[in-house]
Structure 1
Amino acid sequence: MLSYRPGETFAHRLDPRSKLCFQAGFAVAAFADTTLSWLAGVYALAALALLAGRLDPRRVARAYWVVFLVLALGPVIAGIAIGPPWFRVEPALTSLRAVARIPPVLAVSAVYVYTTPVRATRGAVERLVPGRAGQLLGVGTGLVVRFFPLVVSDLRRIRTAMVARGGADRPVTDRARRLAVQGIDRALARSDRLAVALRARCFAWNPTLPALTFGRMDYPVAGLGVVLALSPLVRTGFWSGFPVIVYRVATIAGQHLH
């Protein structure tokens, strides 16, 4: 699982609010069109995001390999036909163009997780969403981000213990049942310990949030997020300037990376 790693990269220096704005706009733009030229621009922008955070794409692939495996099966299943010719290319290509929009979105999300502390994310969420709703959303975001990797780690240890004790020879249904039961049991135990720890540390709904300020580079990044979010409305005209936008972002990011 990917988690936050301190660093001094371009993405690390950005305010979490500008990164959230860019991430949301990028997700909208990624699903705006399925043409090859549009997908090429989306993948180029995702590559720039990985470069800005100095995140190895292989780490993203290892973190989301299950998702990528499921996505890869989609076009194969879509192309299978009952009867001659047994496999149809056109439905498979249509499915491939549809699922091809998801990997760059995951890559940009991975950069955000890798370059943003959980506390800063909570602060950004609570500032963007006012009132109790923002506090509840911020607390939930922080707990999920911290708790989910521990649950995944527990499941891996359970699976490793099962294999070490000869569990690989058991039926798949039996292994799945044992993994689910043990995983839920450990998750509940962890949640109980977490509740005790929160009470012991005087957990508050309104803690002092980290200071967040927009820097000089946060404005163009947030602006690019807004432009990407609006791209489905004007994608024909927008695409003519999309390569220029990508080039400008790459130039600015390159200057700050060096």
Structure 2
Amino acid sequence: MIAYEHGTTLFHRLDPRSKLVAQFGFAFAAVTTTEPSVVAVLSLVALGTLAVARLSVFRVLWTYRFVLVLLALGPLFASLRFGPPWLALEHAPPSLLAGYQVVLVLFVSAAYVRTTPVRETRAAIQRHVPGRAGQLLGTGVGLVFRFFPVVLRDVRRARLALRARGGDELSTRERIQRLSLLTVEQAFSRGERLALALRARCFSWNPTLPRLAFGRADYPLVAAGLLLTGLGFVQVLGLPAAGSLPV
């Protein structure tokens, strides 16, 4: 599981707002483009982002392995037909490209999670989404980032405990039923303890959040995010590229 880790990389020193703008622009451009040259450039950007964040490609792929399995099945499902011909292989490449685009977005998102504290993300959201909606959204994001890894660890422990008690001898259906029941029970137990801890610590909807300030490196990143967003709109609207405009 990828979570925030303290570090001194360039991305650690950037403002979370600039990283969010750049991440949105990258994701928008990645999922809307079909040009091979643009996809190649975005691939280099994604790999460079992981390198700057000091995050291994293999670690990201292992973390999102279940998502990758579903993406790998996408071309097969896209090619299946309910009558002859049973396979339409011409539909596989677009599905394969869409899956690859999602992988690029996961790379950039993993770099953001790795280099951005949860409190800074919450501060960025609450200071730009007004009212109780921003407070609720910021609190929800913070709780998800902290609560989800704990739930995953509980699932792994439940699976190991089931295996240690002879769970491998059960049928697949019985294993899934018991593991699901254990996971739900542990999740509700975690939720009750979380609610009690929040009350004990005088949980506030409007806590004192860290100060956010742009540095010199944030402005080029915001400009890159806006440029990528514009590129995405060009792809969506089908506008001609600059080199193909009529004279």
Same fold (TM over 0.5): yes
Q: State yes or no: 1:53 paired with 2:53.
A: yes
Q: Identify which range, 80-89 or 70-79, moves more after superposition.
A: 80-89
Residue 129 of structure 1 corresponds to which residue in structure 2? 129
User: 1:82: how far off?
Assistant: 6.1
* Aligned pairs for 1:2-13 within 5 A: 2-13=2-13
Q: State yes or no: 1:42 paired with 2:42.
A: yes
> Scaled by the length of structure 2, what TM-score is found?
0.91
User: 1:144: how far off?
Assistant: 0.7
User: 1:166: how far off?
Assistant: 1.4
Residue 208 of structure 2 corresponds to which residue in structure 1? 208
User: 1:76: how far off?
Assistant: 2.4
Cα distance in 2, alignment partners of residues 21 and 129 from structure 1:
15
Look up the SS of the partner of 1:101 in the other structure.
Answer: helix
User: 1:79: how far off?
Assistant: 2.9
> Scaled by the length of structure 1, what TM-score is found?
0.88
% same residue: 50
User: CA 1:106 to 1:123, structure 2 compared with 1: closer, same or farther past 3 Å?
Assistant: same
Alpha-carbon RMSD:
1.8
Look up the SS of the partner of 1:105 in the other structure.
Answer: helix
User: 1:163: how far off?
Assistant: 1.2
Residue 105 of structure 1 corresponds to which residue in structure 2? 105
Cα distance in 1, alignment partners of residues 143 and 163 from structure 2:
31
Residue 119 of structure 1 corresponds to which residue in structure 2? 119
Cα distance in 1, alignment partners of residues 58 and 216 from structure 2:
31
User: 1:228: how far off?
Assistant: 1.0
Residue 237 of structure 1 corresponds to which residue in structure 2? 241
Query: Structure 1, residues 8-40: CA drift from partner, whole Å, max 9, x if none?
Result: 111111101111111111111011222322211
User: CA 1:184 to 1:239, structure 2 compared with 1: closer, same or farther past 3 Å?
Assistant: farther
User: 1:88: how far off?
Assistant: 4.0
Count of matched residue pairs: 240
Gaps spanning 5+ residues in structure 1: where?
241-258
User: CA 1:170 to 1:21, structure 2 compared with 1: closer, same or farther past 3 Å?
Assistant: same
Cα distance in 2, alignment partners of residues 63 and 39 from structure 1:
23
* Aligned pairs for 1:6-45 within 5 A: 6-45=6-45
Residue 217 of structure 2 corresponds to which residue in structure 1? 217
Cα distance in 2, alignment partners of residues 37 and 170 from structure 1:
51
Query: Structure 1, residues 152-200: CA drift from partner, whole Å, max 9, x if none?
Result: 1101111111111111221111111111111111011111111111111
Cα distance in 1, alignment partners of residues 130 and 243 from structure 2:
35
* Aligned pairs for 1:119-198 within 5 A: 119-198=119-198
One-letter amino acid matched to 2:25: G
